[in-house]
A and B are shown apart, each in its own frame.
Chain A
Amino acid sequence: MSDYPDMEHKKLQGKLRIKILELHHKANSGHIGCSLSCIDIMISILKFKETEDTFILSKGHAATALYTILNETGEIPDEVMNTFYKNDTTLPAHPAPLKYKAIPFATGSLGHGLPLAVGIAKAKKLKSATGISYVLMSDGETNEGTSWEGGHFAVANKLDNLLVFIDKNRLQGFGNTADILGDTASAKVWEAIGFDVIEVDGHSISAMLEAKKNMIENKNGKPKMIIANTVKGKGIAYMENKMEWHYLPMNEVQYKEAVNKIEIDYDV
């Protein structure tokens, strides 16, 4: 029996999904599927974060998920949320630099978040500071060479205060990850270079919290990775596991159908 029964988080998971849908609908913008695939991961990190922890969203295209959870935690006010995707906004489609304390680094080009988080973890070690350096990457993103540069550096420097989450939805920009470069987010590969790796259901907050707790407590000098198995577009049948929902905006009918479905399934 987990400390965090999923029922406790269901309403929040649904509420934030509806907020994400609202943002995209008002903006008539894409990147919906990628935000829905990782919103539960972000809840498990940011809703339960300690003050001294840091978080970098390396897959910057899931910015609406980040904005939504930061709105929930009070970092981004409601009136600012209404400016998303508009001129004069601090909330563009990918996070902007130096706007919010909770967004320490702007991202959008893949392969930047891991080295940044590794640097933060290394600095914490040098200063004997506490706190975990979290980073969320996509599985497709691990195609980038910096994954391996940063990964090896983290292992060589014994950064057990680094916790990498992989949003493993098995889809990337123009196809299935398996068909493009193969599974560069495979647990075996990351274990082989020296990470502690756990695979979990990336839509179960309780499973992720438990994995997170185990990882953080294990101060064995090895950097940590939680591979969260997810579904792109999770919660909305017509979007689930469909590559096109990386790019497409919703029409009015699709939007209403999506909101209704979330309201029912997540008991919002």
Chain B
Amino acid sequence: MRKHFSAHIEQIIEESDDIVFVTGDLGYNALENLGLKLGDRFINAGVAEQNMVGIAAGMASQGYRVICYSIAPFIVYRCLEQIRNDVCFHNMPVYLIGNGGGYGYGIMGSSHHAIEDIGTLSGLPNMRCFVPAFIEDMKACLDEMFAQRAPAYFRLGLGKNMPDYLALQNFGAATSANAAAQLTIIAQSPVANNVVAALKEHTYKNKVELFIVNKMPLKGLPDGITASITRTQKVLTVEEHISIGGLGSAVSLLVNENSLPVNKFISLHAEGYPTGLYGSQSYHQQISGLDEENISRIINSYF
């Protein structure tokens, strides 16, 4: 997905002269082409994320759209006050690209994971968080991010191609409406690939409606999701993010605010590091119950 991301950004940049790309000393074997194309509008700000976001806001105030690139946790946590005060309070077009996100950096360890990023950022004023799941919705998210001169965070995970039965929507993607559906699944980030895998040969595949939500904060339930939940009265949310401030809690609040009739609601989410042990991204997904097998088991429990 990173190569598709880089190629798509290159294309966008070729069409505009008001974009500056700032990296926090990262991008080996990924951003070289971009650097060549952008010339002096490609800036390595060094290992100094607070300053990177501060200068980005300063440049944005002079008419530039500024991309800041780093590994997800480094672009979110160290410089949170710069994001809040300098970027968000002033509604500056600074686009934070967080590579990895979730348990994406696997065995690199917890310092390199970002499982609280959406909760941390999505409540900030003017902030738009993009969390694409597949290559196709990533491109749509990028186009939307660049179209608006406002702050954004883009969690860049390792997505695959979107399955045929999903169609892009303004909130992400969705299966077509299904009158026979008995379960509404709402997923976010590339962990949605595990849901797709779980559904592939599933007995109940035709009784499930799947929605991908790739933008946060979730300010209201999309009509399709409201209709689906009203029909199925059963909800499963899946996200590679902690429960607090994530997709499941947002959906839960909206379901209650809209008095939707739900009789079963399960949230599968990142559980942190409950065993105190470390491994690959799929290892951590499994510990949190976000692996294909457990998702399949949970789906079964609804029928």
Contacts and interface: CB of A to CB of B under 8 A. Distances in A.
B257 to A, nearest CB: 30
B59 interface: yes
- Name the residue among B51, B58, B61, B82 with the largest chain A CB count within 10 angstroms: B58
Contacts of B46: 149, 152-153, 156
A119 B50 contact: no
Contacts of A157: 43
A118 B51 CA distance: 9
A109 B56 contact: no
Interface of A: 97-98, 104-109, 111-112, 114-124, 126-127, 129, 133, 145-146, 149-150, 152-153, 156-157
B61 A115 contact: no
A119 B48 contact: no
Interface stretch (B29-37, B83-91, B164-172, B181-189): B83-91
B197 interface: no
Contact of A126 (B40, B56, B85): B40
B50 A98 contact: no
A99 to B, nearest CB: 11
B62 A153 contact: no
**Interface residue SS majority, chain B:** helix
A107 B43 CA distance: 25
Interface string B4-21: 000000000000000010
B54 interface: yes
Contact of A106 (B51, B54, B63, B89): B89
Given A123-B62, A126-B40, A118 B55 contact: yes
A156 B81 CA distance: 24
Given A149-B46, A150-B51, 4 more contacts: A104-B61, A115-B54, A122-B58, A126-B59
Contacts of A116: 54-55, 57-58, 61, 86
Contacts of B41: 126
